Amino acid sequence: MAEFTMELSDEQKEVRDWLHGFAADVIRPAAAEWDEREETPWPVIQEAAKVGIYSLDFYAQQYFDPTGLGIPMAMEELFWGDAGIALSIVGTGLAAVGVLANGTEEQIGTWIPQMYGDASDVKVAAFCSSEPDAGSDVASMRTRAVYDEAKDEWVLNGTKTWATNGGIANVHVVVAVVDPDLGSKGHASFIVPPNTPGLSQGQKFKKHGIRASHTAEVVLDGVRVPGSCLLGGKEKLDARLARAREKAKKGGERVKNAAMATFEASRPAVGAMAVGTARAAYEVALEYARTREQFGRPIIDNQGVAFQLADMRTSIDAARLLVWRASWMAINGKPFTAAEGSMSKLFASETAKKVTGQAIQILGGNGYTREYPVERMHRDSAIYTIFEGTSEIQRLVIARTLAGMPIR
């Protein structure tokens, strides 16, 4: 087990500086254009693939960093560049986490490479969990998966929404109900291979922020996938469902479902994204305050501005520490006894919204225009308190954990 430390190793610092350089030289110059276009920035993703950032190998190296800091460090630097483009680069990772968390070794080796493609032909993947009537309330999920034993196939029907890369992905990971009587405990995750009949893109959403990231509905109409596409395999699913039914009879509820396992593993990473956006806005505001003069002196000399910057920096550092702690705990198998993963996501996402708003205030009228990036950063930051569990859901998870109640 790696000891918790706030000091990055020389190797980690090299990776951080490399990522920062890519974010500064490639992502930032393209940010405003792709935000306006509201399209997937394929050229930037391809550049990321060419240098090795958008790849299975890079993701695996960071994911299995024994300190747990590889992923949050990478997320912070990329999202410092631009949230919309960065999400297009890392969005495949959520689907990859779904396979890593629930799949067999064979499934991991087969499907994750197909999620990324290669530098000459980049691919993306999508994780499909939310539905029009089932976002935070995963127990209300309606997408069904029915097993056709004669053909050893699963048949999927339903509509997913808010899917990053939904419809344009090479590989979709879909969470569906296999036993409606068990509520959220009766869910399973499935791989939908490329070009599978019956899967189509529904509405593509025009969003307030992260507009360079593709978000759409995914419609599943009689989608048939081989039995081997059930993540974890049928034997493992049958055993899990049997335990859930037995616990239900006894009044027990502490059974983890596939979607919750994926979100649990990814929440500190979302917190790191928020830290990156907050830090970017803070740095713009700090530089502006040092150079902008009013009444014959830089505005940072005014206590009202200086105190805001002090609070912004303090909140950013506190958010990073919560993210790093949760990430270290996760990689070292430390249980989140106080919902530390949700804590990190909650505090960091709220910090991003507040800090980007303060940055606009410090820049005044300039901050409200698209001539300065803090306007875009503020729009982008709004998503952090919503996706992968709203701030209200994070507080609910934390409160129920502290009270010793089961998380549903």
Residues annotated as catalytic (active site), given as ranges? 388
Amino acid (one-letter) located at 19 = L
Region for 224 from its dihedrals, namely left if φ exceeds 0, alpha if ψ lies in -120 to 50, beta otherwise: beta
Q: What share of the chain is helix, strand, coil (3-state, %, to 5)?
A: 60, 15, 25
Q: What radius of gyration, in Å, describes the C-alpha atoms of the chain?
A: 22
* Pair type for strands 144-148 and 187-192: unpaired
Q: Which two tokens stand for residue 345?
A: 């996501």
What φ, ψ does residue 124 adopt, rounded to 5°? Answer: -130, 165
Enter the DSSP assignment of 228: G
- Tally the residues of the chain: 408
Distance from the Cα of residue 203 to its chain's centroid: 21
Distance from the Cα of residue 394 to its chain's centroid: 15
* E strands present in 137-263: 144-148, 153-164, 171-177, 187-192, 199-204, 215-226
